[in-house]
Each structure stands twice: as structure tokens, then as C-alpha cells.
Structure 1
Amino acid sequence: MIGLFVGFGLLIGILFGFFGMGGSFLVTPMLLVIGYPAPVAVGSGLAFVFGTSVIGALRHRDHGQVSYTLAAVMILGMTFGIEVGTRIVFLLADLGGADFVISAVYVGLLGVVGLVVFRDARTDGTEVGTGRVATEVQSIALPPLVSLPGGATVSVWVILVVGSSIGILCGCLGVGGGFLLLPVMVYGFGIPTAIAAGTSIFQISITGAFGTFVYAQSNAVNIPVVAALLVGSALGARIGASATRLVNESDIKGYFAGMLLAGSVATASKQVSAVYGIETLETASVVLIFVTAVLVSAAVVHTSVNSFRKDREDGSPRTH
């Protein structure tokens, strides 16, 4: 089992460094599927987020892909939200409905965000729709305002509200919020995808530390599991972060959507198997999570290698 967690950590590390997500959107459902209690799955997911995000943030910093101003404001909002979300989880656990509620929210969020990003990737950017959302967000000119990479100017109050909302979900679901932060920054604030990924990782390192501390106080963090996952992810995060400089932006969105949709289907299968006692579905949910992580990680590495070779043949490095 430890070897399995190390291997899974390597795969998640690659995806984490590539997408700017801590990987807990896969780790937490995986632990739920295996049979860990909801608070432990959530707490361990946040602890894993903290460890991987520190590694990935350093790598993205080296590439100049972090907006520290945006990260600082978002962290303030998310820290407050995580505290609220954590209290909600333990309240649901006391009422006996934590597993079902958390899984149901996972299915809905991963599915909706995954479909939106997939549609955007298939249409090569949907600049009209993306631009409309960013324009509406930027039209809320309530001072003070913050200038962001890509030329956008957004109200600090808007960022705080968004950060608090995502923080509540992070505290409830045991995620760093990367699968929500990335779309918000790209579609809502108009930030380039690579910078959004780096900024997401940086702020997740801070909020993940806070969330881990809160859950650890209630002994809801499985240290051996987290340690095994971190061993594998240490190398994977550096590989994934480097890959963002080599892969086309629409490809990044496509891989991202695939991971979200797979997580949604796997979590849904687990819940259906629990309700109706269909063991085949429970097995299928575990297999789906692992197979998807393997396939997408392999695709990321393969595409990066091909892009690197092409750049060397052309004699000019690509920048995204």
C-alpha cells in the first residue's frame, strides 16, 4: 500500500506542477474510495497539498510565473473561508452525513468545472466568452484596485469575496482549491494560464499549511499516507512545472478538463456502489482515478518531450 501511495504521489506531482493544483482533488476522493473517514481524507488531502505546493511554488518562481500581489489578497480571503469550511465538515461528521455531502459536492464541482474547461479547450480558447466574464469582473471598480499580469485591473474586494468562497469549499472538501483557482484566474481575471498555475500553487502553499494545522489539531491527518504521497510527488512536481513552458495552452486546458471529469465520475461511482452495494462500481472508481492519473501524466511528459525536440530542431525556444 505504501508503494502504491508513492507511485500515485509521483503521478499527482506531475499533474500538480503542470496544472497548479495540489492534487488533493484526486487524493481526497481516493482516500474516500479506499475507506478512510471523511475528516481524515480531507485533512490528509490538505496536508499533501501543503507539501507538494512548496516544491512546485519554488519551481514556478524560478520561471517568473507567480503574481505575489494577487496571491497575497487571495490568501487573506481563503484563510477565513477554510476556517468556516472546516467547522462545517466536523458538524456534518457529527450528524453522520459528511461522506455523502462531501462526495456529492465533489461530483458536482468537478463535473461542472471540467465541462466548462473542456468546451473552452475544444474551441481553442473561446475568447469571446472568456473576455466577457473578465470584462464584467473588471467593471466592478470598487477601490482599492490591483493591477494583474495580462493587463487586468480587479477590485481587492472582489478578490477577497472570491477567495473566501473558494476557501470555504477548500475547508469542506480538503482541497487546496487549485481546480477552482485556475479557472477563476484565467476566465474571471484574464491572467495567462502559466502564471495562473504558478500563482495558484504559491497561495496553496500558505492556505494548505493553515488547513493542515486546523485538521491536525483534531488528529484528522494520516501522517504515513501523506509522507508516502509526498515522497513520490517531490520529483513529479518539478517535472510538471517545467512542462508548462513547453506545452500549448489549449493542451493544458484539455488535460485539466480530463482530470476533473474523471474525478467526478469516480466519486459518483463510489457513492452509487455504497448506496446499492455494487462492489464492481467501487472497484471501477479506484481504477478510474489511477488510470486517468497515469494516462494524463504520460501525455504531459510525452507532449513536453516532443515540444522540446521540435524546439531544438527549429533552433528557437517556445514561450507561453
Structure 2
Amino acid sequence: MELVGLSLPLLALFVGFGFMVGVLFGFFGMGGSFLITPTLLILDYPASVAIGCGLAFYFGTSVIAVMKHYDVGQVDYKLGAVLFVVLSIGIELGSRLVFALEALGIANLVTGIAYVLLLAGIGALFLRRAYNLDEDDEDDDGVDDEEIPAVGQRIQSYTIPPMISLTSGGRASLWTISGAGGGVGLVSGLIGVGGGFMRMPAIYYLIGTPLTAAVGTSLFAGLFSGAFGTFTYGASGSVDLAVVGTLLVGSALGARIGSAATTIVEEDDVIIYFGIMMVLASAGIALSELANWLGTDALDVLSVVLLVGSSFFVGLMILYQAAQNVEMDGSHTKATPDGGE
């Protein structure tokens, strides 16, 4: 039996997978195309369709998540607009670099190594940040969720005009924003991903915005690039509406839950989950590159299982932590009733 051209098991897989990726997307501000695309490839979808569906899913989920972040005031529209411009320039330069590497016959090797090292490096950076926060917690009563990393505070201290006021407070140099956004765009064009997993850390660490604002602004900055990519692949007939539609059914709820969870889950937990996600993704991509080199399908399947499994694990951990915090808040409210009520 089929619905919208998909078998029932496949339909259930796409809805469930879309929900978990939506939670991660809304929570971390990253697109999830590095999860969706390889999963569709292992299910024997053509590469162009896998990429087109990944971009279309990214765009649809961006709209949902940005709306939720807008509701809680976590989007810096001015910063996001500037980032979109410099991101586009960086992506164009990155794509030209890929063509140059292809002419030398080393494009696949360079992009594969860059992908693995980048994911592992970002994951290690966030796990180190979480470790430092744990040490701070031993000395202080707590950590402010709106705290800006030390490197971000240092970069903000260099006032090189023109300066741009940030919605979350403070100011940042246009040169800093251009360097961070352009660098992310360059790498995005080089390795062929939306770049949300780089964009959010760059906004957080280099530009110096609070973590929740970095997530919302990252989503907004990537919204337009997702729309452009969806239009490009859709015009060539490379977007399977049945696949995208079922993924979005699950992610519509997941993205709003993930976005809301950023205001409930503690900052150190957010950082730990993001670090774990990046390290596991790095291992999955490394296995995929090794599978291509050895020509072993089993390793390729294992890499996708690792990617999909890690998304479900981290997504469930986020939902569990958010539910625990809500339950604790509810218990505290009941234990301290208001007046004579």
C-alpha cells in the first residue's frame, strides 16, 4: 500500500526522521542537509534529487524555525541580512575553488578531508567550551545564558569602523562580520553544504552574540540561500515533492519544539549536545569517505546509520532535557503557591 507515492514504512521513516532533524534544526540553527542528503542517497535516490530535496527541506524548515525564533525575539535581522550578502560572495568563491581543484584532480580528496576536520574541530571546540563552563559552575552560582564567549568579547573590543549595532546588545565591526560570513561561505561552497553548522558557531564565537540569538540569526541568514537553491533544483525537476512534503510534516512540529527548547535548556547542555552531534557526524562522514576509497558498501551504510542514529539520539536527549526542565519548573511553581490561591 502506498500514500503520495511512498510505501507506508518509507512514509513513517520520513515523517519520524523529519521530526528529529526539525528538532535539531530549530535547536542548533543548522540545516540538516548533511543528514538528509546522504540518507536519500543510500535509499537509491539520484544525487540531484537527494541534493534538491535536502535544499527544499532546509528552506521549508527554515521558515518554520525562524518564525518561532521571531516569536521569542532571537533574530537579529540587520546582522542576518549582512551575513547573507557576504555568505553569497563566499559561496561563489568557494565554488570557483572547487572547479580549480577539479582541474588538478584533487577536489574529492580535499573536500572530504576538509569536511571531516571541520566537523571534528567544531565539535571539539564546543565540547571544550562546555568543559570550561562546568569549571566555572564550580566557582560561581551559575552561568548566564546570555554570556558571550571570551574570544567574542575580545573581538568586539576592537572597534574598527564601520560598526554595526547588534539587536542582542553590543556592537561589531563590519569587517569582522564580513570576514566571518565570507569565510563560512567560502567553506560552504568548497564542501557543498548549507553551512548552518559553521554559521552558528561563527556568529557565536567571532561576532559575539548570545547563543540563542546566534541560532535564530543563523537560521535567518540561511533562509534566502535555501530558497535560491530550492528554486534552482526545482526548475530542473530535481525536487521530489512527496519526499520533501513528508519530511516537512514531521519537521513542522520538530522545528518549533527545538526552537522553543533553546529558551528552556541550559546553555552548557546546548553546547554539549552540539559538540557531540558534530563529532558523531565527523565520524560518519569519515566512514563514508573511507567507503568510497575502499569501494565497500557496508561502510557506506554504516556511515548513514551513524548519521541518522546520532540525530535521533541527540534529538531525544534535547526533548528529554527540555521535558525535565519544564517538569522541574512546574514542581517549583506548585511548591510556592501565590498568596491565598
Could you say whether these structures have the same fold, taking a TM-score greater than 0.5 normalized by the shorter chain as the test?
yes
> 2:264–2:322: 8 Å Cα contact kept in structure 1?
yes
Name the counterpart of 1:143: 161
CA drift of 1:132 comes to 4.3
Separation (CA, whole Å) in 1 of partners of 2:246 and 2:104:
32
Name the counterpart of 1:194: 212
Matched, 1:293 2:311: yes
Matched, 1:82 2:87: no
Identity in percent? 44
Name the counterpart of 2:178: 160
> 1:152–1:189: 8 Å Cα contact kept in structure 2?
no
Query: Do the aligned partners of residues 21 and 264 (structure 1) sit closer, same or farther apart at CA in structure 2, a change above 3 Å counting?
Result: same
Q: Which amino acid aligns with 2:193?
A: V
CA drift of 1:126 comes to 7.9
Aligned residue runs from structure 1 range 50-199, under 5 A: 50-86=59-95, 100-124=109-133, 131-199=149-217
Larger gyration radius, structure 1 or structure 2 = 2
Matched, 1:229 2:238: no
Q: What's the Cα RMSD here? A: 2.8
Separation (CA, whole Å) in 2 of partners of 1:192 and 1:239:
20
Q: Which amino acid aligns with 2:113?
A: A
> 2:185–2:195: 8 Å Cα contact kept in structure 1?
yes
CA drift of 1:96 comes to 7.7
CA drift of 1:102 comes to 3.9
Decide which moves more: 132-141 or 115-124: 132-141
Separation (CA, whole Å) in 1 of partners of 2:15 and 2:108:
25
> 2:149–2:204: 8 Å Cα contact kept in structure 1?
no
Q: Which amino acid aligns with 1:300?
A: I
Provide the secondary structure at the position in 1 that maps to 2:164. Answer: strand
Decide which moves more: 300-309 or 272-281: 272-281
> 2:76–2:168: 8 Å Cα contact kept in structure 1?
no
Provide the secondary structure at the position in 2 that maps to 1:315. Answer: helix
Query: Do the aligned partners of residues 8 and 96 (structure 1) sit closer, same or farther apart at CA in structure 2, a change above 3 Å counting?
Result: farther
Name the counterpart of 1:277: 295
Separation (CA, whole Å) in 1 of partners of 2:76 and 2:310:
30
Query: Do the aligned partners of residues 90 and 98 (structure 1) sit closer, same or farther apart at CA in structure 2, a change above 3 Å counting?
Result: same
Give the number of equivalent residue pairs. Answer: 314
> 1:266–1:286: 8 Å Cα contact kept in structure 2?
yes
Q: TM-score, normalised by structure 1?
A: 0.86
Matched, 1:240 2:258: yes
- C-alpha offsets along residues 213-256 of structure 1, whole Å, 9 cap, x if unaligned? 34445655454433332222111101111111110000001111
Unmatched 5+ residue regions in structure 1?
A: none
- C-alpha offsets along residues 194-218 of structure 1, whole Å, 9 cap, x if unaligned? 1111111112112211233344456
